Amino acid sequence: MTTFQVGRTYSCRSICDHECIFTFTIVARTEKSVLITGGSLRAPTRRKVRIWDGAECIDPLGRYSMSPMLRADRAVY
């Protein structure tokens, strides 16, 4: 299983606009949550981690219809 690493930056694309790319950095983590910063967030925000298709995932902007999903296997190097 691929997990989020502290200090690494991850990216995801908008469902509505393929040209729109969100990037977030993992600031801290616990077993069940991560603290992220970046994108359109004004302050570091804690998000719950879930497992999907063998990788950890979070909803960085909240969970709603067509929200971006950040996956641990999509790190920016």
Does residue 62 lie within any of the structural domains? yes
Does residue 51 lie within any of the structural domains? yes
Does residue 14 lie within any of the structural domains? yes
In order of 14, 45, 67, the CA distances from 71 in angstroms are: 13, 16, 13
Domain count, the chain: 1
Sign of CA dihedral 63, 69, 71, 75: negative
pLDDT band for position 6 (cuts 50, 70, 90): very high
Residue type, 51: I
Q: Averaged over 29-42, what is the pLDDT?
A: 94
Does residue 26 lie within any of the structural domains? yes
Q: Averaged over 16-42, what is the pLDDT?
A: 95
Q: What is the reported pTM? A: 0.90
Does residue 1 lie within any of the structural domains? no
What three-state secondary structure class fits 68? coil
Does residue 4 lie within any of the structural domains? no
Does residue 55 lie within any of the structural domains? yes
pLDDT band for position 40 (cuts 50, 70, 90): confident
For residue 35, what are the domain limits? 9-76
